[in-house]
A and B are shown apart, each in its own frame.
Chain A
Amino acid sequence: MNSFAALAKTRWLPAALGIGSIVVVIAVVEGLIRLGPWPFGYPLINRFIVPMPSEIFLAFPRIVVEENVLSRFMLTISEALSASILVAVFGVAGGVLLHRFALLRQATETWVAAIAAAPLVLIYPLYLVIFGRSATTIVMMGFTAGVAPTVLKTLEGLAGTRRVLINVGRSFNLTRSQQFWKILFPSALPTIFVGLRLGLIFALINIVGVEFLINFGGLGQLINELSERYDLAGTYAAICFVVLVSICIFVLMERLERWLRPGE
């Protein structure tokens, strides 16, 4: 039991467990599809609904060459980056503003919360007319969807600063801006980053979603096209590429967080 606990503390066991279970799931799916109807008289997994993982793997080079995946990937990732910069700037600024002006917060916090829960993506036809069928529409859609949760989390982080820390600042006679930069902001930073991550989830859902819907641009459009051609392995492979976009942005976010909080 003790040796197991010690093992669990090492780095490689959890990583091996995670990767191992993914490999096992993939192998089981591959095996079940290959077995076909043999043991039960009917196939447990229909190969016309779920292609074999090996087929998906083999589809990668094909769609990379034939479907211009790399340039689509770059387009989607640049749209996502533009939207996340807008979300970070306006979301955090909005949260700070609402925290600074209590009256404004009382008047509008529930509105912002409501906007965060609202299905904003459905206003995309309006953006389509204002900004045209272009990358601007897609970026603005991502920004619109991501900004409200970031505002809320920034506000939650600032408002949740422990009384003791604020009192420490007061006892050092800090000015308002020192109080903000030395106490409130560092204390709120973890929550702000939760908000930015949520904002990015919303922005990315909407960016690729709108690409998919208006049939324009990057990876969203590719998935639409491949699925309409009933290119199953290609569709699954394209979905993997979109997951890759998310991972890139997410790793970047984590690097940024570590860079902002070097002490930890």
Chain B
Amino acid sequence: MTATAGVPRRGFVRPVTALRVGIIVAVLATWELVAASGLLYRDVVPSLAAIAVALYKTLSDPTFYFHLATTGYEIGFALVIGGVSGLAVGMVLGASKLMARAYEAYLYYLGPTPKIIFFPVMIMWFGVGAGSKIAMGAVSCFFPIALNVAAGMREIDPVLIRVGNSFRANAWQMVTKIYLPAMRYPVINGLRIGLGVALIGTLLAETKLSNRGIGFLVIQAYSLFNMPQMYSLLIVLFVISIGANALIGRLGGLDDIKRS
């Protein structure tokens, strides 16, 4: 694990890099101080060295990758199912005032509900295996994606829609040539948020009832009170979700948004 925060060119450090390094150093120093001071129970805030050792052990353990792959494909399936259905529903709601007025309120009301409470139901519908975890992730990410797409659809410049209509574009052409390109940022942002909640839905389901997956490993580390291992698992999880998040942003060009 080597974190290089940008190589300074021509012998000077950019202020952004300096600030980043400063923040990281401050956080790590505070952590180590708290660990050494014994203000909190020592096992809760283990020393950085203990976490590093646990991280090495976790990453060199082959069974870890089995659990990682399990969680990965559960979240992948969840995102595909929730994303495609969210996109379709969002576009229908965004395109039709009648549909939006009839149904969008219910999506808004169901959106803030905590999806994990549906887990007992999902277990009965889809079994105790991967199916119920995928269902949890898909249900979780459906709502933010659908609502983002519907909102993005309404923000499309009417001129673009008129251009499409004046070219007599059919419904499919309107979707692929006008709507999707015009609202790519809300769609990608919805996906980004959807990924966050799909991760939470899937991992929480794994901590509740599972014998595989990262969520299971974390709750196992907790019940054995192996805090360094729990931290190492969380670090790996966070790095992966940061990576996936950055990838979605990069692929979607969110980094290049410059509104002038």
Number of interface residues of A (CB under 8 A): 63
Looking across the interface, which residue of chain A has its beta carbon closest to that of B112?
A: A246
Q: Which residues of B sit under 8 angstroms from A119, Cβ to Cβ?
A: 196, 199-200, 203, 237-238, 241
B11 interface hit (Cβ, 8 Å): no
B143 surroundings in chain A (CB, below 8 A): 201
In the complex, whether A91 has a CB less than 8 A from a CB of chain B is no
Q: Counting CB contacts under 8 A, is A14 at the interface?
A: yes
- Indicate if the CB atoms of A122 and B208 lie closer than 8 Å: no
User: Chain A contacts of B199 at CB under 8 A?
Assistant: 117-119
Chain B stretch 180-216: residues in CB contact (< 8 A) with chain A: 192-193, 195-197, 199-201, 203-204, 207-208, 215
Contact flag A114-B245 (CB < 8 Å), given A14-B98, A250-B109? yes
**Residue in chain B with minimal CB distance to A145:** B200
- Chain A stretch 193-252: residues in CB contact (< 8 A) with chain B: 194, 197-198, 200-202, 204-209, 212-213, 219-220, 223-224, 227, 235-236, 238-239, 242-243, 246-247, 249-250
Q: Could you give 9 example pairs across A and B, Cβ below 8 Å?
A: A117-B192, A117-B241, A117-B242, A118-B241, A119-B241, A159-B259, A163-B259, A205-B116, A220-B114
Q: List chain B positions with a Cβ less than 8 A from chain A.
A: 15-16, 19-20, 23, 40-41, 44, 97-98, 100-103, 105-106, 108-121, 124-125, 140, 143-144, 151, 192-193, 195-197, 199-201, 203-204, 207-208, 215, 218, 222, 230, 234, 237-238, 241-242, 244-246, 249, 259-260
Interface residues of A (CB under 8 A from B): 8, 13-15, 17-18, 21-22, 49, 103-104, 106-108, 110, 113-114, 116-123, 125-126, 129-130, 145, 149, 159-160, 163, 194, 197-198, 200-202, 204-209, 212-213, 219-220, 223-224, 227, 235-236, 238-239, 242-243, 246-247, 249-250
